[in-house]
Amino acid sequence: MKRDVQAVRSEKYRRIWATVARIPYGKVATYGQIARLAGLGGHARMVGYALHATP
């Protein structure tokens, strides 16, 4: 069960990182905006966790 949760989290984190990578240099976006663009509306806090865990 734990592996399944980690796999889902990893997939969502990759979506977040890919979304952040598309933000042009010098532009900013809120965690909420990033979550919506990644298809994770309402999960702004997850964006914060994902960015903290950036490899």
Specify the pLDDT at position 5. 64
> Using CB atoms within 10 A of its CB, is residue 45 exposed (0-12), middle (13-18) or buried (19+)?
exposed
Give residue limits of the domains in the chain: 2-52
Specify the pLDDT at position 46. 97
pLDDT tens track for 27-52: 999 999 999 999 999 999 999 999 99
Average pLDDT over the chain, rounded to an integer: 91
Specify the pLDDT at position 3. 61
